Amino acid sequence: MESACPHLGADLSHADIEEFDTGAVAVCPWHRYDFDLRTGKSETGLRACTYAVEVRRDKDGVDKVYMEAPEEGSGWRIVELRPVSEEFADPPPLASDPVPARGENTKPTPQQDDEPVVPIENPPTTLMQWAVLILNTPNPRLKVERTKHAVHLFRTGKLKSIGNKSSNAPRPPDVPSRDDAYSRNVVDPSKVKNRRNRASMLHALANIEQWAIDLAWDIMARFGPMEHDLPPAFFADFTKMALDESKHFTLLTSRLSALSPSTPYGSMPVHAGLWESATVTSLSLLSRLAIIHLVHEARGLDVNPATIEKFRKAGDTETVKVMEIIHADEVTHVTAGHRWFTWACAQEELNAKNKGEEKVVDPIKRFREEVKKGWTGDIKGPFNVEAREMAGLTPQFYEGLRGELGLGEKNYPASASIAASHPKNHEEGTKEEDVTGLTSGVASVTLQYE
């Protein structure tokens, strides 16, 4: 059965399963609509898509899975069958005095875990309120716990509403909050050396995942109030993504703690380059989906196999397992980006039609246009064609693609937005330029792959 309720898109993976004389039904946690697990039919008149699945043993004794194809279209094939891990790692022990980075003598402030997951005063009642609270939560461990709690409330129908259509929906911050210890170690991406040892690689990957948690919440909090036509299924996909990124963060920081207890997360140099793409795309949902989910995350699909191989050659089987979980989850994230990008293109066509205009929005052409104006430089290979295809990205999307953001304009360091918030980051004897030269409220920045 499809995982989204056909009523409003609730995640049926958290449905109650109840037995009746006629068979088993899945009961949606949001509005208690029930769906027959065999036929997908509901007494409400709605119907969830169901597909017959069989396990057959071939002549060589190998079990193979066969699934009924959807009625619409042709040429369907099963792309992948794999277990899904939702296991979070236990958080590493608190470290009050990790090794200072970049020769600093000042010891980072101890992490504080005494703040409750649910605020005592004015606890959030909508998904939008939870999203903004999490974006404003500097402690990464608390950010993870609040993500887990908020997603559970959303999936089980315990929130008052999504809240994106409210005139009082809270505004997300320009840049998510970070602990002081973390902020002191933020540097320009060009100053971060290649990570060759495992601890440095894990720290860098964990930094990416912390930003990814925020990116998942930000796309909901920023564009939900802008785009009232977004269906609940959009929020279901991106709350899952936020939960996945939180899981990845705990798995990576747990491995970091096991491999290098003296350098816990936040003690090594990090950069905020990924958030610069969030700044550049803050005014357009199509642009955000294109740059973050179909460029940055798709690039992750390209580089993950090589990263996994490095840990494998080092004999680090535990980290290999973690990276394999992350890679499999990231395929679904690019899939979600592709799904909602094509949805947004179709929505543009529909809005134009409602105005009496004729407009055709081709997703591939529109994607290339968004990359051209929201990215700098070539989209470079080698590409993981197989993983990209699983996510819906055919070569027509990305081959021979080049971004022109900032060409002919004055560029600024990729750490500009966060550095401006933390003057202590400037090294003695250097001068950081202010983030000026704004065009339509968007800073001109140079972005590069790590």
Is residue 91 in some structural domain? no
Residues in contact with 439: Cβ distance below 8 Å, sequence separation at least 6, in sequence order: none
Is residue 197 in some structural domain? yes
The closest of 304, 305, 439 to 373, measured between CA atoms, is: 439
Q: Is pLDDT of 118 > 90?
A: yes
How high is the pLDDT of residue 439? 36
- Cα separation, 242 vs 245, whole angstroms: 5
Q: Which of 67, 95, 110 is the last residue of a domain?
A: 67
Token digits of residue 101: 């980075």
How high is the pLDDT of residue 187? 63
Same domain? For 189 and 63 the reply is no
Same domain? For 132 and 221 the reply is yes
Condensed to tens digits (0 to 9), the pLDDT of residues 349-392 reads 999 999 998 889 999 999 999 999 999 999 988 999 999 999 99
- Cα separation, 73 vs 226, whole angstroms: 33
**Do the beta carbons of residue 206 and residue 253 sit within 8 Å?**
yes
- Cα separation, 12 vs 26, whole angstroms: 7
Better-scored residue on pLDDT, 234 or 16? 234
pTM above 0.75, yes or no: yes
Better-scored residue on pLDDT, 11 or 306? 306
130: helix, strand or coil: helix
How high is the pLDDT of residue 84? 60
Mean pLDDT of 216-226: 97
How high is the pLDDT of residue 240? 93
Token digits of residue 313: 């050659």
Q: How confident is the model at residue 107 (pLDDT cuts 50, 70, 90)?
A: very low
- Cα separation, 192 vs 235, whole angstroms: 34
Q: Is pLDDT of 445 > 90?
A: no
Token digits of residue 185: 């170690």
**Rounded (10°) angle between helices 363-374 and 317-354:** 110
**Do the beta carbons of residue 364 and residue 393 sit within 8 Å?**
no
Token digits of residue 14: 């958290």
Is residue 118 in some structural domain? no
Q: What is the mean pLDDT of the chain?
A: 83
Is residue 450 in some structural domain? no
Is residue 114 in some structural domain? no
Lowest mean pLDDT segment, chosen from 46-55, 94-103, 264-273: 94-103
Same domain? For 225 and 311 the reply is yes
How high is the pLDDT of residue 444? 39
Residue 402 structural domain: 127-425
By the 10 Å C-beta count (0-12 exposed, 13-18 middle, 19+ buried), 333 is classed as buried
Residues in contact with 58: Cβ distance below 8 Å, sequence separation at least 6, in sequence order: 64
Residues in contact with 431: Cβ distance below 8 Å, sequence separation at least 6, in sequence order: none
Q: For tokens 């963060």, name the residue.
A: 249
Give the CB-side neighbour count of residue 247, counting CA atoms within 13 A: 21
Condensed to tens digits (0 to 9), the pLDDT of residues 144-162 reads 999 999 999 999 889 999 9
Q: Is pLDDT of 111 > 60?
A: no
Same domain? For 160 and 274 the reply is yes
Q: Is pLDDT of 319 > 90?
A: yes
Same domain? For 261 and 406 the reply is yes
Same domain? For 319 and 188 the reply is yes
How high is the pLDDT of residue 66? 87
The closest of 190, 235, 186 to 210, measured between CA atoms, is: 186
Same domain? For 292 and 405 the reply is yes
Rounded to 5 degrees, what angle do the CA atoms 151, 235, 16 make?
A: 55
Residues in contact with 120: Cβ distance below 8 Å, sequence separation at least 6, in sequence order: none
By the 10 Å C-beta count (0-12 exposed, 13-18 middle, 19+ buried), 173 is classed as middle
Mean pLDDT of 284-307: 96
**Do the beta carbons of residue 265 and residue 206 sit within 8 Å?**
yes
Maximum CA extent, the chain:
78
Same domain? For 141 and 32 the reply is no
CA 197 to chain centre: 26
How high is the pLDDT of residue 427? 35
154: helix, strand or coil: helix
Same domain? For 209 and 320 the reply is yes
Is residue 434 in some structural domain? no
Is residue 444 in some structural domain? no
Condensed to tens digits (0 to 9), the pLDDT of residues 25-62 reads 999 988 889 999 989 999 889 999 898 889 999 999 99
| Overall domain count for the chain | 2
Q: What percent of the chain has pLDDT over 90?
A: 59
Q: Is pLDDT of 440 > 50?
A: no
Same domain? For 46 and 133 the reply is no
Same domain? For 197 and 49 the reply is no
Same domain? For 209 and 139 the reply is yes
Condensed to tens digits (0 to 9), the pLDDT of residues 171-185 reads 999 999 988 777 777
How high is the pLDDT of residue 422? 36
Token digits of residue 266: 């936040």
Query: How much is the CA Rg of the chain, to the nearest whole Å?
Result: 23
Give the CB-side neighbour count of residue 312, counting CA atoms within 13 A: 10
Percent of the chain that is helix, strand, coil (3-state, to 5):
45, 10, 45
How high is the pLDDT of residue 192? 52
What is the sign, positive or negative, of the torsion defined by CA atoms of 444, 218, 302, 333?
negative
How high is the pLDDT of residue 92? 62
Is residue 84 in some structural domain? no
CA terminus-to-terminus distance, the chain:
39
By the 10 Å C-beta count (0-12 exposed, 13-18 middle, 19+ buried), 285 is classed as buried
How high is the pLDDT of residue 108? 40
